[in-house]
Structure 1
């Protein structure tokens, strides 16, 4: 049985890797064609387009892994069935349960790889790709917003700790690719939403530990007496000033990043930030749960592939099985995307919405295995 285990594992792994590389090459080709229209804009050249497309491949690897696992496993099992090798394995006491356990071990390897690409590699390379493109074109990440970039923060007694004493609305004209904020305006309010200060700065640079260094600062305060009426308005200027804030470059990057390309850690931090500021967090909470559930779809897809080894066709067996596998993979992606949108529209619980598509296909795999066992 150990020989069968190694042989089946080798066949499945090589087939899945081959299918994944083929898909990545196809997507890279279409992405490169799409990038050619931007070549010549600013300093953006062909080499930048190639680099941009290359750094987008880890993200596609994460997205395509379940489909590649499905089609690759179907191909490997269909080839074994066509050569009657799978029948010999069954005669050699390999039950459906044993075959499923072998595929499960292979699937766990691909689940780990999916987590690696989704959590570690793809978020970094996607951010680097956007930075390379923006720097080459000489543009900033907030130019798409007519009034600049807006975000909200809370003001606490001791910077990051203590009771909440107010709120702060931050407006940034531009965010440069190196993370510097240009044209900074901050509107500060007390707990009754009465304006207490207006702070402007030419630019701000993050210096670490939730601290921003503001340069050429002007602060206009609107103090109020204990009884309530407003007192004298004052304006002070300074060459530099430090601002302690819960807003970090990671949080700012979320505002113009695709949630599906972010790591679960960053999504969790930003979801918490939105919840603390009483802002809508449904989209990012949905993306967070999808990020945690999606890698396990590899196991579901491989379970769906196992029944194909028991199906026999007179002609065109392998190609027909692969075609059916492609249709199943496309259906899974469409249903996964559909449930995400329906969940947001109908305010379904994010964990349920993220699990439902995989659960449906898992039930289909169990039903298919039961059918082939009975027939």
Structure 2
């Protein structure tokens, strides 16, 4: 059985590696042609190298499907798999052998999606910030917005809205505006800082709070009636404003570097842990979190895609080359795999539009296609 396992695994891995490498080279060429129009050759090359992390995460399941189909169909065409079946390789054993391969690929996807992809996307963001204007990355026309609610014991509740205009690194940001509202929704305080550096309280990504070290601060405070009395500046029907210029100041917040970085990067490039933390933050501040919840469950179920792809390829080992149409059948299998990828992407958008349960929108395509592949496999074993 060791020889059988070595034969099947080496054949499948060789084809999967070749297909994935070909797709990676194609995407690298397309990215380089696009980047060279905006940056120099060296900067474009570095950017394309960082992009390969996300590309590998996206194309590996398709490469696994196509490589597995080519390997198993080739073994069926040369009668190698028929000889293995004659030697005692039953359907259950063949399914378990490829299942181990699928689980190994799923573990690889977990590692890549939660470590390699976030790191490469972060480095890509920093690299583009360094070669961009003034070394910063603009976050769209209006920047990115965050919100937190503070309910201090013995104090009135406050709602705080933070706008970040640009990013220098994962802990350094520019053009930061902070708005503090009272429980009636009236603006009480506004801070504008040219630069902000976030330092987590207690250290580590799991910190529950942070200190924002603001530089070049302009503070605007709308005085309450009691404050006006204290300063003897009461005017009928007027709210006076006090403005202060500060070189620097510390502002404590529950918005950690992880939360701020998550709001900057697209949800597709975040790790599972970062998505979970960010959805918790959005839910606790009464913000819409369904998009990130769907992405969290999609990323959690994404490793199952590898099992689905291997299961879709398994029936090709039981086809007979003499019946003809092998090339057409292989093409059909590739199209089924591509349709699965499309369904996986469309399902998340449909779930967002129709307000489906996030876990259901993420898991439905995988479960459906897994049942489809197992049904095809059982039919071939029974009738062919």
Match of 2:277 among 263, 269, 272: 269
**Cα distance, 1:309 vs. partner?**
0.9
How far residue 67 of structure 1 moved from its aligned partner, in angstroms, is 1.3
> 1:372 Cα deviation (Å)?
0.4
1:14 & 1:339 partners in 2: Cα distance? 32
Match of 1:201 in 2: 193
Check if 1:367 corresponds to 2:367.
no
Distance 2:106 2:7 in 1: 20
Displacement after TM superposition at 1:302 (Å)? 0.5
RMSD of equivalent CA atoms: 2.5
1:59-89 deviation digits (Å, cap 9, x = unpaired): 1111122211211111111111111111111
Q: Is the CA contact (8 Å cut-off) linking 1:153 and 1:277 kept in structure 2?
A: yes
Of 341, 344, 348, the match for 1:336: 344
8 Å CA contact 2:198–2:212 kept in 1: the answer is yes
Equivalent residue number for residue 81 of structure 1? 76
> Residue 171 of structure 1 corresponds to which residue in structure 2?
163
Offset, 1:338: 1.2
Q: Does 1:53 pair with 2:44?
A: no
The farther-off stretch of 238-247 and 342-351 is: 238-247
Seen in structure 2, the aligned counterparts of structure 1 residues 233 and 163 have a Cα distance that, compared at 3 Å, is closer
Post-superposition shift, 1:121?
Answer: 0.3
**Once the two structures are superposed, what CA deviation does each residue of 1:257-282 show, in whole Å capped at 9, x if it has no partner?**
22111111111111111111111111
Deviation larger for 284-293 or 28-37: 28-37
Match of 2:136 in 1: 140
**Which blocks of at least 5 consecutive residues in structure 2 are unaligned?**
202-209, 227-236
The verdict on how the C-alpha distance between 1:223 and 1:108 changes in structure 2, with shifts beyond 3 A counting, is same
User: 2:286 is paired with a residue of what secondary structure?
Assistant: coil
Preserved CA contact (<8 Å) 2:129 2:167 = no
Name the residue aligned to 2:31: 31
Is 1:52–1:130's contact at 8 Å kept on the other side of the alignment?
no
What SS is found at the alignment partner of 2:288? coil
1:131 aligns with 2:126: yes
State which of 272, 286, 289 in structure 2 corresponds to 1:281.
289
CA distance in 1, matches of 2:59, 2:260: 28
**2:254 paired residue number:** 246
Deviation at 1:236, TM superposition (A): 4.1
Distance 1:6 1:163 in 2: 68
Task: State the Cα distance separating 1:107 from its structure 2 match.
Answer: 1.0
Which deviates the most, 208-217 or 109-118?
208-217
Encode CA deviations 1:285-306: one digit per residue, 9 max, x unaligned: 1111110001111011111111
Residue in 2 that maps onto 1:153: 148
User: How far apart are residue 125 of structure 1 and its match?
Assistant: 0.4
**Take 1:4 and 1:187, find their aligned partners in 2: how far apart are those partners?**
66
Q: 1:181 to 1:261 in 2, by over 3 A?
A: closer
Structure 1 residue 156: deviation in Å? Answer: 4.7
User: Is the partner of 1:335 in helix, strand or coil?
Assistant: helix
Structure 1: gaps spanning 5 or more residues = 39-43
Q: Note if contact 1:218-1:238 (Cα within 8 Å) is conserved in structure 2.
A: yes
- In structure 1, what is the Cα distance between the partners aligned to 2:18 and 2:246? 61
Distance 1:193 1:295, change over 3 A: same
CA contact (8 A) 2:166 2:174 kept: yes
- Cα distance in 2 for partners of 1:128, 1:266 equals 17
Instruction: Sort the Cα spacing of 1:220 and 1:348 in 2 relative to 1 into closer, same or farther, 3 A.
Output: same
Tell whether 2:356 aligns with 1:348.
yes
Identify the residue that residue 41 of structure 1 maps to in structure 2. Answer: none
| Count of aligned positions | 366
The alignment's TM-score, normalised by the length of structure 2, stands at 0.88
Cα distance in 2 between the residues matched to 1:184 and 1:137: 19
Equivalent positions of 1:95-114 (< 5 A) are 95-114=90-109
Q: 3-state SS of the aligned residue for 2:157?
A: strand
Q: Give how far 1:186 is off.
A: 1.5
